[in-house]
Structure 1
Amino acid sequence: MNLHVIGTGSKGNAYIIQNDDEALLIECGVKFSESLKALNFNTRKVAGMLISHSHLDHCKHVKDVIKAGIDVFCLKETSDTFGISNHRINHVLPGKTFMVGSFKVAAFDLKHDVPCLGFIVEHSSTGRFCFITDSYYCEYKLPAMNNMIVEANYCDTILKARLDAGEEPSFLRDRVIRSHMSLQTCKQLLQANDLKNVFNIVLIHLSDRNSHALRFQKEIKDLTAKKVTVAENGTVIAFGKTPF
């Protein structure tokens, strides 16, 4: 399996876990035509799409996904914002496990400014991985992972320096710290969990203004001694149960 980063960040998020035979889509905040290219236009192998929450940078193009005949899995609160009543929409309950093709998925609550889900996904090719974005905190200890996709949106010290310099209005600062995960909180999350079998840590949704990709990568690598990738649009990562 490979992880394809179609888009990450406030301009639009979309991710694909795929091999030649099957694919799982996560988020659709980028034009669906970009995902189609990464799929080589083979939508028949797509098991479904997971959507974390209702903000447009994560779900803006859901109607195109449904038109392509792909099932969508999300909270009812999220689907209510689509204005769509369709058999392709599948409502997810936090704490429940469900199958999306060969992918076993468990959803859990995250701490955002709208209802938001994280996902733990298991597949014979990827092992177990998590997807955590748009959350200022994760209250759960996760089962042992093989791969992790986790938000590291901003750094406390960078944000404070920009605020002190008058480069960041206080109301935006307040929204960020109440809705997104800082580098420092991301590090605490990683320290609180068993990383023994983790092969990839993929950092997603970095802020354009309040992050530093190389610094984030180095600090997480120094902390965990794992392979750390800062996701960028177009990034492709080997995403299996082994390092190779």
Structure 2
Amino acid sequence: MIRGSNMEVQIFGSGSKGNCYRLIAGGSPLLLEAGIPAREIQRLCGFRLNELVGCLVSHEHQDHSRAVKDLLKMGVDCYMSEGTARALGVSGHRVHIIRALEQLTIGEWTVKPFDAVHDAAEPLNFLLAHKSRVKAVYISDTAYCKYRFRGLTHVLIEVNYSLDILNEQISAGTVSVEQKKRLLKTHMSLETAKNFLLANDLSKVESIYLLHMSDNNADAERFKREIQALTGKMVFIA
């Protein structure tokens, strides 16, 4: 659990085994991703799923969507693209179809989805604003982000691998050339994350969260150290 001045970030899971985060600002707890078992989400939410204003799902891969069908049955509204809903085979009044660059309101949150670069049906990332002067961006499972943002207070960003570690793993035979090709096209590297951060307005940023690190191709402490030195901001490892 990590608390900023106006927002609390609860990390339920991050990485290839499952991604799930709860953002709390004001009276509107919002779930980001549903990639761990629903019962585990229920437990981590203190058995108060009814307090969630909704769950944003970036795409259909199981490490982001595993619990969607169960959450829907438990009464949680889930927001996703049409492509994601179709890939998951979900429908009904609790499935809300959202589109890139079309703003919507979920509880006290204003959400603007934007397109991600990933090998999924219609992947999205999210810009989230709350009336308590919170403006957060969530970027994960994307090779890069072409958008720029002003006035951010929190950055949640994938730093899946670094090129030098990835190349070392290929030389050692633990990662194949084909795996490297997929990573380059579908996940964000340390180098790309740094370029994104340098290209954006970080003047109001309170904290940066490093998400979805690879077990083999990342060095969490090094990534934290380098991004903290680059930005001068508080950096946390999910």
**TM-score normalized with structure 1 length:** 0.92
* 2:137 is equivalent to residue 102 of structure 1: no
Q: In angstroms, what is the RMSD of aligned CA positions?
A: 1.2
Match of 1:154 in 2: 161
Counterpart amino acid of residue 51 in structure 1: V
Deviates more, 1:195-204 or 1:27-36: 27-36
Match of 2:197 in 1: 190
Match of 2:61 among 37, 46, 55: 55
Counterpart amino acid of residue 98 in structure 2: V
Match of 1:3 in 2: 9
Match of 2:4 in 1: none
> Within 1, Cα distance between the matches of 2:153 and 2:27?
21
- Could you tell me which runs of 5 or more consecutive residues in structure 2 were left unpaired when the two chains were aligned: 1-6
The 8 Å contact of residues 4 and 38 in structure 1, kept in 2 or not, is answered as no
Cα distance, 1:124 vs. partner? 2.4
Cα distance, 1:35 vs. partner? 1.7
Alpha-carbon distance change, 45 to 20 in structure 1, aligned in 2, over 3 angstroms: farther
Find runs of 4+ consecutive structure 1 residues off by over 6 angstroms. none
> Within 2, Cα distance between the matches of 1:137 and 1:184?
10
> Within 2, Cα distance between the matches of 1:96 and 1:143?
18
> Within 2, Cα distance between the matches of 1:42 and 1:22?
13
Aligned length: 231
**TM-score normalized with structure 2 length:** 0.94
Give aligned-pair identity as a percent: 36
> Within 2, Cα distance between the matches of 1:94 and 1:44?
27
Match of 1:239 in 2: none
Alpha-carbon distance change, 198 to 101 in structure 1, aligned in 2, over 3 angstroms: same
Match of 1:132 in 2: 139
* 2:73 is equivalent to residue 67 of structure 1: yes
Alpha-carbon distance change, 108 to 20 in structure 1, aligned in 2, over 3 angstroms: closer
Match of 1:81 in 2: 87
User: Secondary structure at 2:53's aligned position in 1?
Assistant: strand
> Within 2, Cα distance between the matches of 1:163 and 1:83?
37
Cα distance, 1:19 vs. partner? 5.6
Match of 2:29 among 23, 27, 30: 23
Counterpart amino acid of residue 204 in structure 2: N
* 2:149 is equivalent to residue 121 of structure 1: no
The 8 Å contact of residues 144 and 193 in structure 1, kept in 2 or not, is answered as no
Which deviations, in whole Å up to 9, do the C-alpha atoms of 1:182-218 show, x marking residues without a partner?
A: 0000000000000000001000000000000000000
Deviates more, 1:44-53 or 1:124-133: 124-133
Counterpart amino acid of residue 107 in structure 1: P
Match of 2:43 in 1: 37
